[in-house]
Structure 1
């Protein structure tokens, strides 16, 4: 009897602690039973993260939409698999700018207490965007690898149809993996283990699966780009070596393009690693140990690096890809010419309307000055 009374008192005390202290630390999993365990940012931290998101989010959206418009407006770029993969990357980064900014600010700044389905739907959108971004970079790396190592058979190995099929498969797999928690693979014990301490309602086993897949994709990208850089270095040696002879003008131009593209995408890979490795490391640690509030706050700041990565990607394309930059200038020139034609048509219509109005006004003035001239002449006759 005394044992039952003591158990009731302990349960009452725990309930009182949960209700009166919503911001308790997550190191005690038994007391973490609300979304407040994940809303750990202080007011200055909220202001800093809000500033980052509000600056990077709209900029990322505009830049990637511009990249999509440039590629869509060029029939030449649309036919090339390389730019199809860049389009997939720009589309993923556009989604990231929308889903991440809205859901991140809604949760951490405005403390929106969504239900499990709504929260997992928002999280699925963010996961889909970033998974599609990393997957598109993998397709881009494989495309560059084939272009350099299988130059003679490149157009046969990677056709326009195969590139579109690869993009469709990538996004189908991405959507399925991203929305697995919404489809049922979620925590069954509210927020206690095996739940993640970084994402509410997310099972640690699912988080381990997703993080492991991202590490595998990053590893494959690194391997591809290391081989690309090695091949590019050999090209530079061949171009400058006196014993190997001089390559043809066409071959020299091709080598320079390969080297430039290799350096471009290697720089993208470096930025991707800097932005993603901290986040993935925190996720992997969360699978094995319980994170503190300080570590949760650090993870929130590291998450914004993923948005910064999506913001930097289109800048790299615009600055380092000659063809894309040339098409951008052509698109601007076309828009400028259309605007000038539109203004010329408007001015021409105004001039014609102005002449018609002047003539009509003159005739009306004459008739008003002699309103009865004709009738008087008839009467006189």
Structure 2
């Protein structure tokens, strides 16, 4: 492949990936299916269910057209290959064109099936029909969902491709191609997993992500997982009627302080350890008096005579948790993004230290 083909291929690949997995920059530029087709889709706030019936169909069709768009672009970028003349195009490109035409054809057939009987065959409509009363249809349930979504007291969070919405009656997850719906009174929610990330890409702060399994007592309703920041866990619990069960191995940190202590401990674990002299006996932590002292401040971030940090000559007197709480207590609560890189005085001798100077004892 020569330069124009490579350039176009790489550019189109980046565009396609960003169009499917829309980053914030694409949202800001309006390069999303919702924005490009806003006139036909309508307003989500005005009619939640009709909006997503059309949105999922339009998204499926637009994404299925991406391979065909690549082929058309290559006809212009690599005109010497004569891809516009099928009889002269290479065999591999003809097979690719067949695939590029087949995908939107299948998508159109599926969308036509969904739209029959006023969208009654759409997966969202079929799920809502499971909650309809005998004398009514799925449209009545959809009207209830629309009404509750318009209320300002709903719980809503998450990225555009995995939004979580909880109203007084419904638990919903909005994904790129589907909307999962379950009625609150029929579901069991279980925190199945927690993942700790030292830095969030949005705020440069530690973050804990929870995976919550939403399973309905109705076997016809498919179970689904929602992902949630642990700091929003309390707000979610307030909106739910039933308690959330928790797997035995899952620990939830609902405050920024809890997240910082977890990150503080993980960073200290990779610092060099401090060997306690055999003649020295470790005493109880003077902060909590519950556990033995387990950390010693040793300047390891820089040479002894350089930098802002100072050498601490105190014996080990603090446990890791209490030292982490002391470190957090000396921070500016309005600037949590600076906590990990800051320096604080030793709680005993006031020598300044950073996280790199906190060493576990052995």
Asked if Structure 1 and Structure 2 have the same fold, meaning a TM-score greater than 0.5 normalized by the shorter chain, the answer is no
- Rg larger in structure: 1
Structure of greater relative contact order (alpha carbons < 8 Å, 6+ residues apart):
1
Alignment TM-score, normalising by the size of structure 1: 0.23
Alignment TM-score, normalising by the size of structure 2: 0.24
Higher helix share: 1
